[in-house]
Structures are given as structure tokens and as C-alpha cells.
Amino acid sequence: MLQVQFIRDHKQTVLDGLAKRNFANAEQIINAVLTADETRRATQVSLDNVLAESNKLSKEIGGFFKSGEVQKANLLKEKTSLLKEQSKEFTETLNTVSEELQELLYQIPNVPHASVKAGKSEADNEEVYKEGTIPDLGENALPHWELAKKYDIIDFELGTKITGAGFPVYKGKGARLQRALINYFLDKNIKAGYTEVQVPHLVNTASATATGQLPDKEGQMYHTEVDDLYLIPTAEVPITNMFRGDLKQENDLPISVTGYTPCFRREAGSYGAHVRGLNRLHQFDKVEIVRVERPENSYQALNGMVEHIKDILRELKLPYRILRLCGGDTGFTSALTFDFELYSTAQERWLEISSASNFETFQANRLKLRYKNKEGKTQLVHTLNGSSLALPRVLAGILENYQTADGIKIPEVLVPYCGFSIIE
């Protein structure tokens, strides 16, 4: 959530940033925020003045009673009664306008970083890096869903029987390869300085609101109505909320955390061949990295996260590219996002497998997550997160790019985790 003072002091910067996102009615909403904020501040001043006057009169009343001047005391009591009514009215107005202001702020996405280009969709994203060799698999290359059936390692139909489409069952070496990837990703993250955590897979409304899933993406999350809990769409939500409401000291930062969780997304409106097999699921596994940083260090930290993900993909020897997302494709809460895509040779297209994002103070403002610097000044931190990695499309890429006439070879770095080197 943007800070009101930032909007007040940098209105044109905010409007220019929202224009990159093609955000509708930006000026109207920003003006409404500034009007509500002006009303809120004026009401607060009036309330403070009334309370101050009331406190002053209360002291005078006490003095008159002590000196026996009861009539003067009673006259002042009548004035304090009027002040109490005014105080009540101002408090009600303040609460109403504060709620209106909050609802307006919830509608406004983050301001993109200066390096983010304007654009309408993923077609306008910028490729900033590419690495790896796309293998020549010949004419008989199979997509991963056919390989999964051929080698009996993933059963999509069984998942549909148990739950529904988008909930596959991993079997035999498929399940072992899935577990191997999780352990490998976690080990890589731990070696890079991240602390592993295991977190709940359901969160409350406060947690979903703090990281920006609510009220923006409620239609994409599974909701348990009886308990009013949400199944997590990513481990970013519970991990980041570990620090909600905290006041850190400067020497506590940076904070680097990693965790594995299943993730649950309704993916409403997703249909067609592009979502076949593992391309898009309702339940999938992902290993996440989250960082809490001092503002002046956050973009260096983002670059470090990008390099870390690169290193993983190099070890897996998968062809990949990195995109800097344009304004129209950047997530609601993010200031800058880099997407990683690997090339699916059998499908002949790029598949998103990771993203690394800097939210700057947007999440921290909702989280009320602050730190006190060496000078004793309290300010909001910057939060960042990345996938390292989302498993379904990585697994799809391995199955497709490593297929041979003899079977599916396992990337060398994963063999110690799997206990086998080929799926035959």
C-alpha cells in the first residue's frame, strides 16, 4: 500500500507510474485520496483541539471545587458536556473518513521502478538475459504429459478422479524426482544464507491483506468459509507475515528466509492447450525465498536473488531467459519484477518458472513492518521475494529437454537426491 505522504509529496510521480500500468481512473482515485486525507487531518486537528480544551477545563473545574467555587465549576461542566459531544462527532467523522481513505489506498497498485517500461501485456516485456542451449530432440519429441503417461510417473486422470482437473498424482520415480527437486532447491538456498522455515498452509484475512492478496485477488484463492481462512497461493504470504507488526533494529537486517510449501490457486478462467499437463495447476509445489532489507540495499539484494536463481538453472542445465516485466504485466504489489522462463523444446515455447520481485515499502506499509536505524529514526523496510523454484514447469522442462530414445535422463546435480540417473 502506498504511503499517503508519498502520494501527497509526489503526486505526479505516482500518476506517471500508474500510467505505465494503464491503471484506470488514476487521477480520480489519487485526488479522492488527497481529499480524504485533507479531511482526515483537519478533523484530527479539530479533535485534538477539543480534547485539549476539555482537559484544560477539567483541571480548572477541579481547582474551583477545591476553592469552594461550586457555581463556576458547574458552569464549566456544562461547557465540557458540549465539548464531549463535539469530541464524539469528530471521532465518528475521523473513523469514517479513515476507513474511506484505507479503502481507496487498497485500490492503488505499487508505483513501478524507473526502469520499468510502459506496456499493456506480456507481449511488451523486455528480454534482458538468455542462457543455455536448446537441445535438438528430433521430430519424435513428446510433450511432458505424454512422457508422464509413457513412463507412468504422473497420473493426471487419477488426480481428476480424486479431486478434479489441475491436481495431478506423482508416482514412483516421478514422486522421487519431485522430492529431489524440493530438497535440492532448499539446500541451495540454505547454502546461500537463507534460513529454512516450515509455515502454515492456510492464513487469516489479516495475513492475506498484508501481502496484497486481498482485496485484489480473492477470486484466485481457495477460501474455507467456516473458519474464514485462505489456502496459500505462495509461501511468500505466511513467510512475510512472520514479521507483521515488528519493529526491527538495523543490525537485524537483512533477513533471508526460505521455505517449501504446496501452493493453491483457483486459476479461474484458465482454459486451453496452453494450460495442459503441468503448465498450470490448482495445486503445486514451490520453494520460495523472501528478504527483508534496508531500503538502500534492496535493489542490490534483488540482483543477488536473480544471480542465485541463475545459478540453480545453470546447474540444472536448462535453457532459460529473463524478462523485465512491463508496467501492464507487473503484479499489483511489485515495483520491479524479473520473470525467469525455460524453453520447453517439445512444446516449442517459453514457460515461466520463477519471478523475483522488489515490493519496496508497499507490503511493509500494510504489514506495519519497520526498523530503527542507528540514528534512532523509524522507517519502513523493503520486502522482496522470489521462487527458487516453482516445481511443475521445471519438472516439465526436465522431462521434455532430457528425453532420449533410452528414457529420460536426470540432471547430474539431481542424481544424488534422486538415487537414479534415468527414468526408463
**Residues annotated in a binding site for L-serine:** 234, 265, 288, 385
Using DSSP, state whether 219 is helix, strand or coil. Answer: helix
Q: Which three cell numbers stand for residue 229?
A: 481462512
Dihedral sign for Cα atoms in the order 132, 136, 139, 140: negative
Point out the annotated binding site: 234, 265-267, 288, 352-355, 385
> How far is CA 379 from each of CA 12, 246, 248, 373, 382, rounded to the nearest angstrom?
23, 12, 10, 8, 10
Point out the annotated binding site for ATP: 265-267, 352-355
Range 359-362 contact pairs with CB under 8 angstroms and sequence separation of 24 or more: 359/110, 359/212, 359/333, 359/334, 359/335, 359/383, 359/384, 359/385, 360/110, 360/113, 360/295, 360/298, 360/335, 361/3, 361/295, 362/1, 362/2, 362/110, 362/212, 362/333, 362/334, 362/335
Strand 247-249: give its sheet, edge to edge: 247-249, 370-372, 378-380
User: How far is residue 82's CA from residue 321's CA, in Å, rounded to a whole number?
Assistant: 69
Alpha-helical runs (H) found in 368-421: 391-401, 415-418
